[in-house]
Chains A and B, each alone.
Chain A
C-alpha cells in the first residue's frame, strides 16, 4: 500500500495528464463527432453575449458590402413582383380574393443577423441572433441574400446555431435547373467556394455554367432557390455517376444578413 502511494505520488503529473486526456477524448466524442453540442455550444447565453458585442463592432467594417448585396436582392425581388403580375391573366385574378392569399402563405421568412461564423474548418457553424422566442426550431432552412446558407441545428432562447452548407455532414437535395435531374449536395471540406453534387447519372447532360437549384424534396428549403453554378464536370472511371463541382452563389466570408425559412405545413407533414 505504501509503495502504491509512493508510486502515485512520484508519477502524479502523469496521472493528471492521463485523466485530463481521457476526459478530452470523452468530450470530443460526445460533443463533436455526434454534433451534440447541447450545453457548451455558442448558442449558450454567456458566449453568445460576448459574440454579440464583438459583432456590434465588426459589423461596421462590411456595411458597404452588405448594403450592395441587399440592394441587389431588392432589385431582383422587385423584378419578380412586376413580372409575376404580368403573367396572371385578368380573369383568373378575379377568383382569388385577398384573404385567401394571406392564409395560404406557405413560407415565411424571419430575418436574422449572423453574430459568429467559421469557414475554415471541416464542420462549420453560424450563430444567429434569433432563438426559440422568435419561433425558430431545429431543421429550419436558412438562406442568405444570394442563396442558401445552412440548416438550423441547435436553438436556445435568443440564439441559434446553424449547420452551414460548409459542414461535412450537411446534405441538401438539389436539382439541375435545365433538365430537373436530382442529386444530393455535400461538401468535401476542401474549398469554401465549391461544393459537390452527387448521384447524377452519367447519361444526364451537364455542362459548365448550368444553374443548380433546390429541389423542394426536403422540408428545409422551398423549391427553386439558386444554389450555384456548375464549375467543373468530370467522369470517374468505373462509376455511373458524374462528379460535379458547384460554385456556391453564397460567399460565406462576407455573409451577415440571413433569413430563416418558416415552413407552415411542416407540422402537418411530419405528423
Chain B
C-alpha cells in the first residue's frame, strides 16, 4: 500500500465523489432522502492538515457534488461549515492520552466509539445546514427535521461501512 498522503487523499477525493454522484445519488428511499458519503473525505484528512487547506478542499468537494446535483453552493456551504468545526470536534472528543503519534483520524487507530461520536456529530451539522438551505423556508420544519434524522442515520451507517471495508489498516 502506498503511503504517500497526497496520492491517497487525491484518490479518495475522486473515489468518494464518483461513489456519491454515480451510485448514492441514485438511491432515493421513498423519494425522500438519500445518503451522503462524500463528507467522509474531509473527516479522514490527516490531523496535521492546515485548517485553511481543509476549508478549501471542502469547498471544492462540495461544489463538485453541487454541479452534478444542480444545487450550486448548497453542498459547498454545508461541507465548508463541517470542515470549520472539525478541529473543535477533535478538541471536544480528545482522548485522555491526546492524539500522540497518531496520524489519521480513522477507525482503525482511533477505535469505534471515538469514530462514531466524531463522524455523527460532524454529519449532523452537515445535514442540518444542507437540508435547511434546501427547504429555504420555515414552513415545513417537521419534514425537514425528519429528513435530517433519517439522513444522518443513513449517512453515518454508510460512512462506517466504508471505513470497515475500504480504509487500509496501516
Is A189's CB within 8 Å of the partner chain B? yes
Tell me the nearest residue of chain A to B60, going by C-beta: A20
Q: Contact: A25 with B77, CB < 8 Å? A: yes
Q: Contact: A27 with B34, CB < 8 Å? A: no
Binds B, one of A9-17, A175-183, A202-210, A222-230: A9-17
- Say yes or no: A20-B22 contact (C-beta < 8 A), given A118-B69, A120-B32: no
Q: Contact: A190 with B72, CB < 8 Å? A: no
The secondary-structure label for the interface of chain A is: helix
The secondary-structure label for the interface of chain B is: helix
Shortest CB distance B139–A (Å): 10
For the complex, give the distance between the alpha carbons of A17 and B28 in Å. Answer: 31
Q: A40-B67, A41-B70 are in contact. List 17 more A-B contacts (CB 8 A).
A: A14-B84, A17-B55, A17-B81, A20-B59, A23-B59, A30-B72, A30-B73, A32-B73, A32-B74, A37-B70, A41-B67, A50-B21, A118-B25, A119-B28, A121-B71, A122-B136, A125-B70
Give A1-33 as 1s and 0s: 1 = Cβ < 8 Å from B's Cβ atoms.
000000000001110110011011111101111
- Chain B positions 30-69 with a Cβ under 8 Å from a chain A Cβ: 31-34, 51-52, 55-56, 58-59, 62, 66-69
Q: Contact: B67 with A12, CB < 8 Å? A: no
Q: Contact: B73 with A122, CB < 8 Å? A: no
For A37, what are the chain B residues with a Cβ–Cβ distance below 8 Å? 70, 72
For the complex, give the distance between the alpha carbons of A189 and B26 in Å. Answer: 19
Q: Contact: B76 with A58, CB < 8 Å? A: no
For the complex, give the distance between the alpha carbons of A47 and B26 in Å. Answer: 16
Tell me the nearest residue of chain B to A193, going by C-beta: B31
For the complex, give the distance between the alpha carbons of A173 and B67 in Å. Answer: 31
For the complex, give the distance between the alpha carbons of A132 and B56 in Å. Answer: 36
Is A235's CB within 8 Å of the partner chain B? no
Is B103's CB within 8 Å of the partner chain A? no
Interface size, B (range)? 35 or more
For the complex, give the distance between the alpha carbons of A50 and B22 in Å. Answer: 9
- Interface pairs (24), CB distance under 8 Å: A13-B51, A14-B84, A16-B52, A17-B55, A20-B55, A20-B56, A20-B80, A21-B77, A28-B77, A28-B133, A31-B73, A32-B73, A37-B70, A40-B66, A44-B67, A54-B22, A118-B25, A118-B70, A120-B34, A122-B135, A161-B70, A190-B140, A191-B31, A192-B31
Most chain A CB inside 10 Å of its own CB: which residue of B21, B32, B67: B67
Give the interface of A toward B (CB within 8 A): 12-14, 16-17, 20-21, 23-28, 30-33, 37, 40-42, 44, 47, 50-51, 54, 58, 118-123, 125, 161, 189-192, 253
For A28, what are the chain B residues with a Cβ–Cβ distance below 8 Å? 72-74, 77, 133
For B81, what are the chain A residues with a Cβ–Cβ distance below 8 Å? 17, 21
For A25, what are the chain B residues with a Cβ–Cβ distance below 8 Å? 73, 77
Q: Contact: A32 with B72, CB < 8 Å? A: yes
For the complex, give the distance between the alpha carbons of A25 and B74 in Å. Answer: 8
Q: Contact: B80 with A58, CB < 8 Å? A: no
For B80, what are the chain A residues with a Cβ–Cβ distance below 8 Å? 17, 20-21, 24
Q: Contact: A47 with B133, CB < 8 Å? A: no
For the complex, give the distance between the alpha carbons of A30 and B74 in Å. Answer: 12
Complex partner residue of B140 from A30, A44, A189, A191, CB under 8 angstroms: A189
Complex partner residue of A120 from B28, B55, B56, B70, CB under 8 angstroms: B28
